[in-house]
């Protein structure tokens, strides 16, 4: 099985791009914004472990 291997930072960047393209629909962005926050926390935890 093939998986697209993105780093956490690349994923965050792509999600941020998506939030900018749908900016007028602020209420629809909440899920994306929460996902970005979650991934940024994960990234911080990951870098602290190293």
More confident residue, 19 or 38: 38
Mind listing the pLDDT tens digit for each residue in 3-23?
A: 566 788 888 888 888 777 666
Nearby residues of 36 by Cβ (< 8 Å), 6 or more positions away: 12, 15, 16, 19
- Which carries the bigger pLDDT value, residue 1 or residue 25? 25
DSSP for 2-32 reads: ------HHHHHHHHHHHHHHTTT-HHHHHHH
pTM: predicted TM-score of the whole model, two decimal places: 0.53
């Amino acid at each position: 099985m093939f998986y697209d291997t993105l780093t956490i930072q690349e994923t965050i960047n792509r999600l941020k791009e998506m939030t900018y393209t749908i900016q007028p629909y602020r209420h629809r962005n909440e899920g994306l914004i929460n996902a970005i926050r979650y991934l940024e926390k994960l990234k911080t935890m990951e870098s602290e472990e190293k």
